[in-house]
Amino acid sequence: MEQNRKNYQEKAHKILDDIFNGIDNLENNFKDSSKEINSSMDDTIRQMKAEGEKLKGKFKEMCDANSDSWEDIRNGFEKAANSLHDAFTSARNNYKHK
């Protein structure tokens, strides 16, 4: 059980890294866009970064959790990570179409 928990935490850390790298790449890609696109993407990226910081907090909480609450916290982390990933994908797709 402990090994599964450790493996999941390593996977979750990679998910966090991937999300933040993706947000940074998106931000770098739209810097030279029109002012209208830049403004709306700036708001979107600011929101995604704020959600990412909350997700980091959930990750820390998950790592520090005792065995009784770990699974519930892990499920909360997964839901938040999926939601943030979906927001990132949507923003990236919207940017590609402009």
Please check whether residue 62 lies inside any domain of the structure.
yes
Q: Which domain holds residue 75?
A: 55-98
Q: Which residues neighbour 36 within 8 Å (Cβ) at sequence distance 6 or greater?
A: none
pLDDT tens digit string along 52-66? 999 999 999 999 988
Please check whether residue 76 lies inside any domain of the structure.
yes
Q: Are 84 and 19 in contact (CB under 8 A)?
A: yes
Instruction: Write the CA distances from 3 to 8, 10, 58, 85, 98, integer angstroms.
Output: 8, 11, 20, 26, 45
Please check whether residue 65 lies inside any domain of the structure.
yes
pLDDT tens digit string along 65-86? 888 888 899 999 999 999 999 9
Residue 9's pLDDT band (cuts 50, 70, 90): very high
Q: What is the pTM (predicted TM-score) of this model?
A: 0.80
Please check whether residue 41 lies inside any domain of the structure.
no
- How many domains, the chain? 1
